[in-house]
Structure 1
């Protein structure tokens, strides 16, 4: 790395890589720094080789959908024919039965029986009266879910799984989480979606209420970011992996310099602009001088949820047709699984398949410290009881530990985040982006858009509103899925 750059980008996840790509198109100078040993952030793809067989997995599969047509072109330009369309199939497994995800009312009738359906209908009517007619204010996720579905359906389909993911009561989750993830998704919209599927017709662009079709890179999500890296290196840009910031100096209004550590060596770099997507709570502790105590305390109160992943390669051609299966019940230790070949046949060798198993946890939880053998022993009884596969089908297991994967929107997050952002926004040459950088649970397309807007702000000399990205008040899984023209 040189000692000075016009722009330094810290973090080579989707947001940072998109910023780098957009700056390179304008032939702007920058250096890119990544703590891990490869680019991709939360959208990496791992490749494992077993003899002559190659298996691939994302570190959490990411289907792609967006309302921004530019993002589709952005990715198609990078990976061309490897940008494939996939028809979504996602289900949940409850009480020994597969149900659609999101829930299908006709399946609920069969699963619950008419007695429970009448109870669910009565609960929904009570919710309509309470929250729509009487206008009782909604204070948290729990109340929001009940206001949209009624208590019976909310408990059956949403509250239990949400508490399993976050490890806290839904009464302690901010209503923003519900508004971001399930606004517009309610009992009525589910019924409408069923009817729409019956009468849908083809067109060049369909707005799918629950996104039945998505795009995916043929060799995994990480292919996008590997393609960016390859193009940047070919054009002479500096990319340093296994490198992390240890100090960020400022004068109160501008970022001045950054200390980077790599293999025990410290290098100081100066810059005109800093684009960063590292965790917001970590970033403020690197500042020199440090922020005021009240800002540091607010950052300390912002919490994340982590994950531990078990990747299992199998001597089976297929397990299910699903990309994802959700497991809301607490008695099953994992929350979600993905069969990678159902995203793309190239993710597994012919005649073989794999499962990517996700456990949500805090880093202080015993499960987070488990070895792959211990984690597999924890998961296997549920896997066999559900009839998915047996120990005899397993080729190999691999363990991947995430850190601070998901920002937790607890009931106090808003005030704490506002205090930290108020301080961060005083720096005129700082652009903080991405899910970790903004403490904002957004999708991959939002991270790409944040990076692109940060780059354009630098290129054009005017600030785009990065905070507005991913702030639309509607269900996040709505989007456009255009038909490829090539």
Structure 2
């Protein structure tokens, strides 16, 4: 179900978006291997960016980027990056995607490699997209780290963690991701737990803080009422709230209405060619086409096509359900896909043998600038239900990878058996952790906020308190962010050298304005008409600027570290006195 299924068309299998199987969680990896065993194959990753007629390796490789952008554009990218490190955009504020990426990569690179594609995916300007999405999807990656990786081949962050965006290989089910869950359903049925399909939930009945039953429609359109003791939902939160009976308060309904979802459409083309391109997928940043990404399913697994002399391409379009293209007939969408693939030079029109279209509503929860508030209200309301848990990407309105979504399900199942795990704590920003078991609570292990179970609901917080709680950690992190000493030194050194060079040029071209200087002073500043001395003067100014900038950054970081340590000890002391 959902976007984890694999569609079979005339023997050609394809995903609802490509799904890599990669996780740092041993439990998830073990479970995947246990379910599929030899059908869980290891695949190399190759993905590139297509931008205005050029292909760029992804992750970034220095020589490839220089060849594609050209020396001038590459120089401008580096200057833009140094500018961002010396003087962060918007005063260092990172409230939205544009600010977050520009401060880490420079505005120039952001506008080339991030802006167009991101706005294709989400359908809204980057300054209206929350910075949370960038923090989740581009974790630990920066221009400096990408260049370092290109030169020395490392794919680890400063603390030694594998950078998610740079993973070079992954596991994949031989017949696509749907194979994993089809096999899982078979194993469950063999143990007496059949999975029921094709019965959409219409209403969720509740009373006194507990869900009592659900009403679903069977394949014949007849209403069926199902009771139970525990309920776990992966429905989009908006649909879940609207399905509750009795209905929630108006402010909760409005919060659910404010949640937005991006819809997904894939046009699959069968190409009469054995090899079209070697990539697993290609990101289409070229702004002249609406196409966002192309999957080459045979390069994920050769078993995804019935005839290896043919190739199946998945052309991915990101739309709103209200868009005109969403309602276009399949034939028109296929024609559009062929035309755009020909336009960017990937295929020839006469080699397309067949095509089909699959639409998927609510594929991506949207991280706009207001989702935090709506989500806080909904989450607070749902906490009153002691036997209802929401999990997965849409159940949490969080852009999780599939391993994160699986762990929310694992934690929810364990909660039913007496544990108190917070499924909302599972995300890409932190390591997975379980809350301590009841028997270990006396050992001093810290408990994270737990979901209320079978007791009175907590006092309702005000709207301002909810918003303050959601943003407090983010504000502190931005306020005390560590400055990059090397980048600051380079930036100040570059500016100092430029100022010195400009000053020398002005003095040479306006000799009347040149002050009376001693010979030694003139030589030191590089003002004698000797190019060697001029270069020495500019280099000296740059070196002095580098020392000044790096020293200022180092001193600032040390002061912040001292202040944070002092504050932490003071808080700990006050808490000890309170106890």
Whether the 8 Å CA contact 1:91–1:322 is kept in 2: the answer is: yes
User: Structure 2 matches for 1:77-116, cutoff 5 A?
Assistant: 77-116=34-73
Is 2:288 the partner of 1:327? no
Q: Secondary structure at the match of 1:99?
A: strand
User: Residue 148 of structure 2 is aligned with which of 174, 192, 196?
Assistant: 192
TM-score normalized with structure 2 length? 0.71
Query: Which 5+ residue runs of structure 2 have no aligned equivalent?
Result: 432-579
Q: Secondary structure at the match of 1:238?
A: coil
Secondary structure, counterpart of 1:272 in structure 2: coil
**Distance across 2 between alignment mates of 1:379 and 1:297:** 37
Tell me which residue corresponds to 2:178.
222
Unaligned runs of 5+ in 1: 1-39, 475-486
Is 1:273 matched with 2:230? Answer: yes
1:393 aligns with 2:351: yes
Tell me the SS of whatever aligns to 1:184.
Answer: coil
- State yes or no: 1:336 paired with 2:293: yes
**2:213 corresponds to 1:257:** yes
Q: What is the alpha-carbon distance in structure 2 between the residues aligned to residue 195 and residue 390 of structure 1? A: 36
Distance 1:330-1:473 versus aligned 2 partners, 3 A rule:
farther
Structure 1 or 2: more helix by fraction: 2
Structure 2 distance, partners of 1:136, 1:41, is 38
Alignment CA distance shift 1:222-1:303 (3 Å): same
Which position in structure 2 is the counterpart of 1:167? Answer: 123
Superposition pairs of residues 355-370 of structure 1, within 5 angstroms: 355-370=313-328
Match of 1:43 in 2: 4
Q: Pick from 357, 379, 392 the counterpart of residue 337 of structure 2.
A: 379
Aligned to 1:8: none
Partner of 1:245: 201
1:428 aligns with 386
Structure with greater Cα Rg:
2
Paired position in structure 2 for 1:316: 273
Q: Distance in 2 between matches of 1:381 and 1:283?
A: 40
Q: Secondary structure at the match of 1:410?
A: coil
CA contact (8 A) 2:120 2:290 kept: no
Distance of 1:199 and 1:401 partners within structure 2? 35
How far the C-alpha of 1:135 sits from its partner, in A, is 5.8
Equivalent position of 1:138 in the other structure = 94
Q: Please say if 1:124 is aligned against 2:81.
A: yes
Alpha-carbon deviations, 1:352-405, whole Å to 9, x = none? 111011000101111111122101221222212333222321221111011011
Q: Counterparts of 2:201 and 2:330 in 1: how far apart (Å)?
A: 31
Q: Is the 8 A contact 1:179 1:473 kept in 2?
A: no
In the alignment, is the contact (CA less than 8 A) between 1:457 and 1:463 conserved in 2?
yes
Equivalent residue number for residue 244 of structure 2: 287
Relative to 1, partners in 2 of residues 1:338 and 1:471: Cα closer, same or farther, differing over 3 Å?
A: closer
Once the 2 structures are TM-superposed, how far is the Cα of residue 275 of structure 1 from its aligned partner?
Answer: 0.6
Q: What is the distance in 1 between the residues matched to 2:371 and 2:190? A: 42
Write 1 or 2 for the structure with the bigger share of strand: 1
Contact 1:244 1:260 in 2 (8 A): yes
Distance apart, 1:342 and its partner CA: 0.3
Which shows bigger deviation, 366-375 or 273-282? 366-375
2:424 is aligned to 467
* Larger RCO: 1 or 2 (CA < 8 Å, sep 6+): 1
Whether the 8 Å contact between 1:323 and 1:338 is mirrored in structure 2 is: yes
Distance 1:150 1:252 in 2: 53
